[in-house]
Amino acid sequence: MEKIGEKKWVLMYDVFSVTPHNFGFVETSDFVNFKNLGRFNEGVMKTTNYISPKHGAVIHLTKEKANNLEAYWKTHQRNYVRQASIRQNPVLDGEYADPEVLYSNKTRKYYIYPTTDGITDWGSRSFKAFSSDDLVHWNEENVILDLKDVAWAKKNAWAPSIIEKRQKDGTYKFYYYYTAGKQIGVAVSDSPTGPFVDSGKPLINKTLPLGMKRGQNIDPDVFTDPVSGKTYLYWGNYYMAVCELNEDMVSVKPGSTRILIDNDKYYSEATYVFYRKGWYYFLWSKNDTRSVDYEVRYVRTKSPTGPVDASKSKVILSKRPEKGIYATGHCSVVKVADKEDEWRIVYHRFCFPYGVTLGKEAGFHREVCIDKLEFDEEGNIIPVVPTL
């Protein structure tokens, strides 16, 4: 392939010596000396999104021709045919789920804290973080918490939540709430990328709250009310529970636990709460994460502790079979820094395009996506259109 406007050529070749198979690329201007460009998903080819590619070809297009092709495919889509444009999602390389997003005032960067996926029965034993300056390009950080360093749980590292707190002396601490062994713990660090040190015991143990007979103590969400300054922890599968945290952020205020939703008719798990213009927005996921119908619903209230009427919830993010997008759920939300009212929703879906073909196993193979979150004039969330 000759590169447009340059006296250079790119040779593309099969690489069968690795698993999964890949393509290699080299560049030359004289057919004697060759420069290695890497492989798909590596080096300068990192913007590609192919799984085990074989036997193909590449054509170098002008911007005008690329735009014409994109316009054509937008009106002539078929299932699992990629549009002729660079994909926006997923934003993280690899299989991850349950993303928690944070903008840090300390570092002026964004962070995503996910569950590590691709493991049968959600068997991850550690947590990673990813950082970004712009919500588009993400860098993998080191493991920030490993369950080998946690005394009370050794498996099922799931669904974290994090909050940044400025201390009286002007320094910052980060409090990381997470699921492990179907209990909820909290770990603390001076940095958004850890290492985080566990408190030494579960914050929420396996005992179900306030007489609940079904469900699990999983999926924590931490939220500080900008009106009162109080900090709350939400959690629960089948039910939505809330408690107030003490000022130390690692203990529960006695007598503060409440049940906000006591059944799964409209609610399943993964509560996320944020505040905007006098309203508290309660987002959550409905259905099983292994189902193509996993989706995000929401209601808004005038209080961080409800009441929450789940029957009035509306779906704002769901599957798009015509695009091959399924199981969009377990979200978090971030306001874009330095923007007056611009927001993003971060969520996971089945890995595209192969996830939906795996049946229930698809629930162990998910990827993290970001899309715009917009509101109408009355403050209602406009349904999100998930993008490829």
Q: Which residues are catalytic?
A: 98, 269
Read off the amino acid at residue 30.
D
Let me know: does 81 contact 92? Beta carbons within 8 Å. Answer: no
Distances (CA, A) of 156 to 23, 285, 312, 368: 35, 19, 33, 19
Instruction: Tell me how far apart the alpha carbons of residues 156 and 130 are, in angstroms, rounded to a whole number.
Output: 20
Instruction: Tell me how far apart the alpha carbons of residues 212 and 259 are, in angstroms, rounded to a whole number.
Output: 9
- Number of Cβ atoms within 10 Å of the Cβ of 50: 15
Q: Tell me which residue of 352, 320, 237 sits closest to 286, measured CA to CA.
A: 237
Instruction: Tell me how far apart the alpha carbons of residues 353 and 371 are, in angstroms, rounded to a whole number.
Output: 18
Let me know: does 260 contact 307? Beta carbons within 8 Å. Answer: yes
Let me know: does 89 contact 346? Beta carbons within 8 Å. Answer: no
Read off the amino acid at residue 370.
I
